[in-house]
Amino acid sequence: MKQKTGSKTSMVKLFSIFAVVSVVNIIVLSSLYFLFPDLRDFLIAEDKLTEDLTALFYLLSFILGVFLISRIRENRLRRIYLALPVIGLLGFLEELSYGERIFKFKTPLVYNEYFDALHDLLPIAVNYLQVHAHLLLFVLPAMFFILIVVAIVKYRRYIPMIPDVIGNYPPVGFFLIAVSMILFAQVYDLNLVRPDFAKLIEEMFEMNGSLALFFAVLSLWHVSPQDSAAKTEQFEKRLSFSFLAIFAFFIFLGGGSYFLFYFNTESLAKESETYLDNVIPRVFTSWDPEALLHQLVPELHPGEAQNRNIRMSFALQAKRFGFMKTYEFKGNEAIERYKNLEYFRHGDTIYVFTNFAEAIFEKSSASLRIITIKREGRWCILGLKIDPIRSIR
């Protein structure tokens, strides 16, 4: 009994410390954000202070969690608490985009979102619904709320057990706080509500969510080796199964979706290069403006005056560079849409790529930056930029 009382006292202290640390960092970050506007980029931008702290708390949760679980003798408790360091590792990898931010490998662009982490599935789904089934954006949250209510009514007999579960399993309370904060941050990130300080709110919730997970791992110090009460055994079996099912679902859904989207993007990228292989020689070998005008998106040359400017520009470029001898592709990347232009919408019929190539002309070599767009099954040129590299003597 004394051991349990001491454990509960330690948990109360741990919850108190977490509450104080959370309140303090919210006050400090908010004060710095509003009092010193020049610091805002440093505080909340991508790969800056709050994101770095979030990644650090996830990493510490993984490392410390593995160590503390190794000290627990009961296999049953190990299986339950193993979820904590696994979530810490996944959270750390999510913050690093699974290495994309370090190694800069190519990731698919799907409905205006670069899919480099599991949490990107949510904004991808929302963007998809905005394009194809806008009304479902209102129907699905209502259905989700109804399912939550049904689940609570169906399993209401387990609700009185929650205090006992938290008492017998100290990390559960912190874990519920972490999940709540992280889910709120992900939903808030969907741009449904977007005040000027929205990024600050999102980053603070994400950081404190990772901090709550770290405290859940810290609470493993106070895990008692005693068996839980018999009335909670069925609950903990459901809990273990739920963790396993959720992990399996997200890993399968995330991994499968990533490879599906990646290969689709790669296929489109090859289509774009094949299209340019047919266009570039016709346009640049003799600087033929008519060949380019025929391939341009119609919105870019609405009148004869614009077409005349393109012809004059080509005549000047022909004098400057001479005719093209050879060229070589240097890669391409999908680009995000501009929401005010309909033809930048990524979906079933419209895709946009930036293609990079180097060309050797008679008088100079140059880098080519050509933006291609596929809409209604046809590839066109959306933009063209030529930068000289060096003169050829």
Residue 64 confidence (pLDDT) above 80: yes
Q: How confident is the model at residue 49 (pLDDT cuts 50, 70, 90)?
A: very high
Mean pLDDT value across residues 17-35: 93
Q: What is the mean pLDDT of the chain?
A: 81
Q: How confident is the model at residue 234 (pLDDT cuts 50, 70, 90)?
A: low
**pLDDT for res 232:** 52
Segment 204-209 mean pLDDT: 94
**How many angstroms separate the CA atoms of 200 and 182, rounded?**
14
Please state, for a pLDDT cut of 90, what percent of the chain lies above it.
Answer: 26
Contact 321, 366 (CB under 8 A): yes
What is the pLDDT at residue 114? 80
pLDDT over 80 at 101, yes or no: no
pLDDT per position as a tens digit, 176-201: 899 999 988 888 877 666 666 788 88
Report the pLDDT averaged over residues 196-220: 90
**pTM (two decimals):** 0.72
- The closest alpha carbon to 351, from 111, 144, 75, belongs to 111
Instruction: pLDDT band for 300, please (50, 70, 90 cuts).
Output: low
Q: pLDDT confidence of 8, banded at 50, 70, 90?
A: low
Question: Is residue 376's pLDDT more than 90?
Answer: no
Tokens of 36: 């010193």
> Bigger pLDDT: 164 or 262?
262
Considering only residues 228 and 99, tell me which one the structure prediction assigns the higher pLDDT.
Answer: 99
Q: By mean pLDDT, which of 111-120, 193-202, 336-345 is the weakest? A: 336-345
- The residue among 172, 159, 165 whose CA lies nearest residue 83 is 172
Higher-pLDDT residue of 201, 297 = 201
Q: Among 210, 237, 231, 256, which Cα is nearest to 84's?
A: 210
Identify the weakest region by mean pLDDT among 39-48, 193-202, 216-225, 297-306.
297-306
pLDDT at position 140 over 90: no
One-letter amino acid for residue 234 of the chain: Q
- The mean-pLDDT minimum among 17-21, 178-182, 189-193, 312-316 falls in 189-193
What are the residues facing 296 on neighbouring strands? Answer: 381
**300/372: higher pLDDT:** 372
Rounded to an integer, what distance in angstroms lies between the CA atom of residue 314 and that of residue 321? 10
pLDDT digits (tens, 9 = 90+) for 345-371: 444 557 788 899 999 998 889 999 999
Report, as an integer, the average pLDDT of 373-377: 81
Answer whether residue 245 shows pLDDT above 90: no
Contact 116, 107 (CB under 8 A): yes
Q: Span 277-302, mean pLDDT? A: 84
Kindly state the average pLDDT of the residues 117-128: 82
Q: Which domains does the chain have, with CATH numbers?
A: 2-228 (no CATH), 268-391 (3.10.450)
Higher pLDDT: 357 or 5? It is 357
* 350-361 and 113-114 beta bridge pairing: unpaired
Residue 23 pLDDT exceeds 90? yes
Of 197-206, 283-292, 346-355, the least confident: 346-355
